[in-house]
């Protein structure tokens, strides 16, 4: 599907030389998102989900500490 779209757009040649309205119309009709037709990015391996887990872990720890302090503070003698 992706390759067909690239092929379709490449038939138009250089879009920079075309009137803006035609390109917009073309995009509107074919629903071509510019990001879809770009090359697959060689993104760096990140530790996004691991980091999210670490952050959640710290938030949970803070909440537990807060609950412990609140409870200890509220104990009636």
Quote the least distance from Cβ 45 to another protein, whole Å: 5
Tokens at 15, concatenated:
């879009």
66 near another protein (CB under 8 A): yes
- Interaction residues for another protein, span 15-54 (CB under 8 A): 16, 20, 23, 34-35, 38, 41, 43-48, 50-52, 54
Whether 32 and 59 have beta carbons less than 8 Å apart is answered as no
Size of the site for another protein (CB under 8 A): 31
14 near another protein (CB under 8 A): no
Closer of 1 and 17 to another protein (Cβ): 17
Q: Which residues, in sequence order, are CB contacts of 27 under 8 Å at separation 6+?
A: 33, 34
Whether 37 and 2 have beta carbons less than 8 Å apart is answered as yes
């Amino acid at each position: 599907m992706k390759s067909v779209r690239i092929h379709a757009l490449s038939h138009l040649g250089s879009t920079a030389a075309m009137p803006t309205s035609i390109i917009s119309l073309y995009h509107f009709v074919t629903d071509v998102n510019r990001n879809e037709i770009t090359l697959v990015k060689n993104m760096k391996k990140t530790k996004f989900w691991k980091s999210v887990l670490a952050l959640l872990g710290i938030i949970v720890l803070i909440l537990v500490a807060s609950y412990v302090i609140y409870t200890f503070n509220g104990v009636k003698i």
